[in-house]
Chains A and B, each alone.
Chain A
Amino acid sequence: MHESVADIAQIISGATGYVYPNEYLLQWGLLIVMYPFLTGLVAGAFILASLERVLGIKELFPVYRLSLLAALAFLLAAPLPLLAHLGHPERSLEMFLTPNLNSAMAMFGFVYAWYLLVVLLLEIWFDYRKQIVIWSREKTGAMKFLYKILSLGIDDISPEALRFDDKIGKFITIVGVPSAFLLHGYVGFIFGSVKANPWWSSVLMPVVFLFSAIVSGMAVVLLIYMVTAWFRWKKPGMACLHKMGELLLYAMLVDLALEMLDFIHRLYESEESIHILRDLVAKRLFISLIISQVVLGSLCPLVGIVFARFGKLPDEVRRMLYFLSAMLVLIGIYSVRWNVVIGGQLFSKSLRGLTVYKTSLLGMEGLFMSLGLFILPFVILYVLVKIFPPWTGNEESAGETAAPS
């Protein structure tokens, strides 16, 4: 962990102005950028699913189960970057043993456990229970055994039992929506409550995190929906795509408005920190904030989605536009996470200097590790889809007929 002499010289000479000597090195790197990105995808995907369930937006039926499974896949991967960045991962269970209730971070374990065990797993279990029981009867070998375990030994699929499943599933979804808000709003609070850091310390941070989470979750489900459809040699249903595009558009507008509010508020208040933050944006975050987050990640996909949804275009072009826009949105939201996590550490709390951050390819904090952590949930999703096929065979027709767009 000791830096080489050359590295130290490079870091110190790269810094400008005055940086407190302990602040040349960034404490949180790519792994912690990945963490809010992944939890954001969880919360967003879940909220999309609950829109179908709670508000009864029937066009979203084809992606209901898919987004639940995606949320689970991302949620299972989310703590890994956290764990990997710890100095002593073997001590991580202390967060459960002796949580400091005054610490925003200590609650992570509990919020996570609540969301995983009480919300997501339960909802998926109740939703799939009938299927699990049927599969446990039909399948053979290891799969049969697996479904037997998953059914928890309950094979009651009488109409009353199923009605109960449906009712409690809906109830869990209703509990789940504030839980999803809690999960990601809470991640925003971890940053927003650091009064020492003027870039983070903002009451809007949890709200901005939440809406950017919704945006990213919708975008990723849209992508997964299209890709899985193509893999099954089916065309993604336009009604569903349009609805998701619309919702994504609204969420993006709210997100953008909140971010603008934060931006204008900071500029107008013009506190002691405004000079260094201006420097930070101009000298360190220009590409990731102005170009990647605002232009590529917000404005371009906004235009793309508006055209895809309301323009007079052939369906193929619309799909292409949705696909590209969703990709850009994901890049944009990743940039948001980068700008918060990395950006917040690039300036010294002396408010007089900027340090530098260089990513490496290898190692814990390397690019490959991040890439692996981003791919991992898709692998998990693949396995989940194999165990719990989300397609019942009638969602395409349901999606197409529900909305005459």
Chain B
Amino acid sequence: MIFTKLNAKGKWLLNRFNIPRQTIALGLLFGILVVVFLAGRALFVPRSFGLYGHYRGDAIKDNESLAIQFAGSTACADCHADIFDLKAGSFHANVACEVCHGAAADHIADPGKMKQSAPRERGLCPLCHNYNPARPTGFPQIITDRHNPGKPCMKCHNPHDPKPPSVPAGCNECHRAIANQLAVSPHAALDCTICHDVPETHKISPRQNRPGKPNNNNFCGRCHAKPADTSTNAPPAAELIPTHRVEIKTHAGRYLCWECHYPHHPEAGP
């Protein structure tokens, strides 16, 4: 039926414009395909597509409306003000509650139903405080295996106001990495205070009361100058260093000694 109709139309066109009939049939077929394609596009492209760019505009809302798990650093203050204030003045001031206690959005929505975890065992603290050479110098670290093995951290440290249980006796209690290096270096025999003058308050609030450091090459020269100045203020270890003496004025040029040599583990060789 359709074909005969098409044929009739085709014949008319054929006569009118001298177009072969097979192209008419094909043209119609392709026309139908194009119409189907365009209709499909009009029907199935999501409404919000192209609103802001080449994407479904509603996808932004989809992303925005996902559920929150972590309530945020200030969410706990309303109910736990005492702990919050204590922590705010401590070394852990910048550590959010949820770092240790876990995501709290559910707890805030219904405090009775969801309880936060409060880790009391030894496992959590070493995640940050176990010694790792890749950690930045100065970050408080312990060697977990040797630091009061088996004892929960909380026995000695309050996580909301962490500090050593007693005033540290020696430098190596906090500066373990340096102490370890120093112990195997040619400077092993030197006491820290030979080079650093340490205010007593440094042990209680270390950041506010920083220890002093040598500030010129002559300080090193007290042991390493050629000839060594043994007359004045020479430390007791001076005679133990027969080698590594240099002309202090010229050896370093315009550099300071510790710009090339690391005093806690001075390099052997030239």
Contacts and interface: CB of A to CB of B under 8 A. Distances in A.
- A contacts B directly (C-beta below 8 A): yes
Contacts of A100: 54
B40 interface: yes
A165 interface: yes
A104 to B, nearest CB: 15
Given A117-B33, A152-B29, A98 B45 contact: yes
Given A152-B3, A154-B21, A164-B22, 19 more contacts: A93-B44, A96-B41, A97-B40, A100-B54, A102-B54, A117-B33, A122-B26, A125-B26, A129-B22, A152-B26, A152-B29, A153-B2, A153-B7, A154-B10, A154-B25, A156-B22, A161-B20, A161-B21, A164-B20
B37 interface: yes
Interface of A: 93, 96-98, 100, 102, 117, 122, 125-126, 129, 152-154, 156, 160-161, 164-165, 168
Contact count band on B: 20 to 34
Nearest to B54: A100
B153 to A, nearest CB: 30
A98 B37 CA distance: 12
A152 B21 CA distance: 10
Given A97-B44, A98-B54, A154 B37 contact: no
B12 interface: no
Q: Is the interface of A mostly helix, strand, loop or mixed?
A: helix
B6 interface: yes
Contacts of A96: 37, 40-41
Nearest to A129: B22
Interface in B1-25: 2-4, 6-7, 10, 20-23, 25
24 contacts: A96-B37, A96-B40, A97-B40, A97-B45, A98-B49, A98-B50, A102-B54, A117-B30, A125-B26, A126-B22, A152-B26, A152-B29, A153-B2, A153-B3, A153-B6, A153-B7, A153-B25, A154-B10, A154-B21, A156-B20, A156-B21, A161-B20, A164-B20, A164-B22
Contacts, number: 48
Nearest to B33: A117
Contacts of B23: 168
Nearest to B45: A97
A395 B242 CA distance: 102
Contacts of A154: 7, 10, 21-22, 25
Interface string B44-81: 11000110001000000000000000000000000000
B20 A97 contact: no
Contacts of A98: 45, 49-50, 54
A252 B22 CA distance: 40
A164 B2 CA distance: 24
